[in-house]
Amino acid sequence: MAKTVVMHEHGGPEVLQIEDRPVGDPAAGEVRINHKVCGLNFIDCYQRSGLYPMNLPHAMGMEASGVVDAVGEGVTHLKVGDRVAYASQPPGAYCEARVMPAAQVCPLPDGISFEEGAAMMLKGLTTQYLFHRTTPLKAGDTVLFHAAAGGVGLIACQWAKSEGIRLIGTAGTDEKCQLALDHGASDCINYRDEDWVAKVKELTDGKGVDVVMDSVGKDTFEGSLDCLKPLGMMISFGNASGAVPPFNIGTLGAKGSLKITRPTLFTHIADHATCQDMAQQLFAKVLSGDVKIRIDQRFPLDQVADAHRSLEARKTTGSTVLTI
């Protein structure tokens, strides 16, 4: 039996319940993992609220680290005793132990702690596909990144700096802006204090940016389009402020033949070999020191509802983890 966070209905953080659930043995293609630390991400809130509906009841959580306890038939990249970390479907990572598909579970290098592993996989793999798999980016390009002091944002600031890419961030307080600057952002705009669209234009001499990476959604979408240079790329990869409403696709032509995409991490990591390669690139960034994983909040597993409240209230910086 393992303590597991389950929801029986969509709603606020109060719907999250702790239950003892049987773990069982892995079938072919599966592994059993004893978790050490679990990660917290905005997608968890989307699933809980019903923005991303799930069949209920359902266990929660997309990211964790731990030790392999049993290996099913046909699994060749993992063995019992391996340190591992993952960001993967199906949800169910908020627990002491679980059986899950092995393909997206990645061996965790000894130089990376369990806390870092749980805090970095979903956010770090997201950063990897944003910079390497979505649209061509090269040294000298300029990116606008919203929520630059968040979990993905602080990794993205460092990633951009390590590759010679100028990253202009936005955040909601001066303290968060300073945090983004400390992690490699070239500039960071407090969107509560100034017109961030005008400021981006000023910072780029009126040209706009090559790419916008926007996980905020509804509140920033229109402004983000206005920050792009002609032929620029809008990457909308989250909905922290709510879903982007329908819009006239002709707007993209009128604003400079813009491009737009709405990617998800789980499309990018669906292939086993691709997932493992992306993870190796992420691990290399961390082991080299180019990217440091900042964990600013820790909650015991049984305080998961409080963790969700803090995340949704934008009271967090960096990554948040749930301790077992």
pLDDT of residue 225: 98
Return left, alpha or beta for 157; rule: phi > 0 is left, psi -120 to 50 is alpha, else beta. Answer: alpha
CA–CA distance, 298 with 40 (Å, rounded to integer) = 10
Phi then psi for residue 187, to 5 deg, are: -150, 155
Instruction: Tell me if 130 is assigned to some domain.
Output: no
Say whether pLDDT at 223 is over 90: yes
Q: Containing domain of residue 180, as a range?
A: 135-262
pLDDT of residue 115: 98
pLDDT of residue 173: 96
Phi then psi for residue 153, to 5 deg, are: -60, -45
CATH number for position 91: 3.90.180.10
pLDDT of residue 240: 86
Q: What is the pLDDT of residues 109-135, one digit of tens each?
A: 999 999 999 999 999 999 999 999 999
Indicate if 19 and 50 belong to the same structural domain.
yes
CA–CA distance, 236 with 275 (Å, rounded to integer) = 21
pLDDT of residue 314: 86
Indicate if 221 and 255 belong to the same structural domain.
yes
Say whether pLDDT at 232 is over 90: yes
Q: Strand order in 228-236's β-sheet?
A: 187-190, 166-171, 142-145, 209-214, 228-236, 259-261
Identify the CA nearest to 121 among candidates 266, 238, 23, 290.
266
pLDDT band for position 176 (cuts 50, 70, 90): very high
Tally of structural domains, the chain: 2
Say whether pLDDT at 247 is over 90: yes
Q: What is the pLDDT of residues 17-53, one digit of tens each?
A: 999 999 999 999 999 999 999 999 999 999 999 999 9
HSE of 11 in the Cβ direction (CA atoms, 13 Å)?
12
CATH number for position 187: 3.40.50.720
Q: What is the pLDDT of residues 278-313, one digit of tens each?
A: 999 999 999 999 999 999 999 999 999 999 999 999
**Least confident window among 4-8, 114-118, 277-281, 316-320:** 316-320
